[in-house]
Amino acid sequence: MKCPPTFSGFAGCKGGGIFQTAMTKKISFWSIIFAVFLTCTASSAEKAENMEKEQAEATINLAEAYMGQGNYTAALKELLKVEKFFPDNPYLHNDLGLVYLAKEKPELAVEHFKKAVKINPDYAPARNNLGTAYLVQKNWDAAIEIFKTLSDDLLYGTPHYPLSNLGWAYYNKGDYRTAEKYYADSLKTEPDFVTALRGLGRTYIALKEYAKAVENLEKAIRILPRFAEAWLDLGDAYIFSRDYQRAIAAYQKVIELSPNTPLAEKAESRLKK
């Protein structure tokens, strides 16, 4: 029995009949439409995601501009807008930590620095900032653990920061010789790092090695003449060295540089003595 001509190719009949060809064309047509739909949907989603990322970057840049101006409240508002959309952005959490640190909320700063480090363990600045937040909390041992890891990292570009911070942590623990070592190591890396020079000067005052204290503090103010805190410490070093005229001049410099501040009050109190 021959197949009906209109059903050729159906139910085992040979030949590329009308039914098979029509169905194939329909399937191909809808497959193409579906593929185009998926492509357009994926493309739209990708574009939307890219736009969100660009907006987030712009918002973070605006927040960092506010931070540069010292307007931490405005910076915080901008960063919180972005956080709910990009909770896994380590740079965002690092900025939030810095803002909370500036707003004297070290517990919140620690929380965000920890998130940044958890998301990106190789993000060294966030690890350094976490250690700094621990210093603010006077959690010396936690800070030491962070800074030792950083100072041992050969790829870390600014090792003088963690080394100096280790000096400060050990100074506050009363371990002055270890503090001396880390401050000296910091200065080997960056000889003009005034924070380490001041820290070493304070350490030598604690060790009653006043000539060394004067030497380091004088170098600090030569590099940074408006470093009021170093001038106050230098005044103390002069007092212990019995160089009273220079001590008076140093304390007066503090008052000149930082009038009507707690630092100036300390200088005035020393002058009265």
Give pLDDT, residue 29.
Answer: 52
Q: Which residue has the tokens 């380590």?
A: 90
Give pLDDT, residue 26.
Answer: 54
Task: Copy the structure tokens of residue 190.
Answer: 């960056």
Model pLDDT for residues 1-34, shown as the tens digit of each residue: 444 343 333 334 444 443 344 444 555 555 555 5
Decide: 129 and 98 in contact? Cβ < 8 Å.
Answer: yes
* Residues lower than pLDDT 50 in the chain: 1-24
Decide: 94 and 121 in contact? Cβ < 8 Å.
Answer: no
Give pLDDT, residue 32.
Answer: 53
- What Cα–Cα distance (Å) separates residue 25 from each residue in 7, 19, 28? 16, 10, 5
Give pLDDT, residue 43.
Answer: 61
119: number of Cβ within 10 Å: 17
Give pLDDT, residue 140.
Answer: 98
Give pLDDT, residue 232.
Answer: 98
Give pLDDT, residue 55.
Answer: 78
Query: What CATH superfamily classification does 203-273 receive?
Result: Tetratricopeptide repeat domain (1.25.40.10)
Give pLDDT, residue 57.
Answer: 79
- Report the alpha-carbon distance of residue 44 to residue 240 in Å, rounded: 72
Decide: 237 and 205 in contact? Cβ < 8 Å.
Answer: yes
- Domains of the chain, by residue range, sit at 203-273
Give pLDDT, residue 210.
Answer: 98
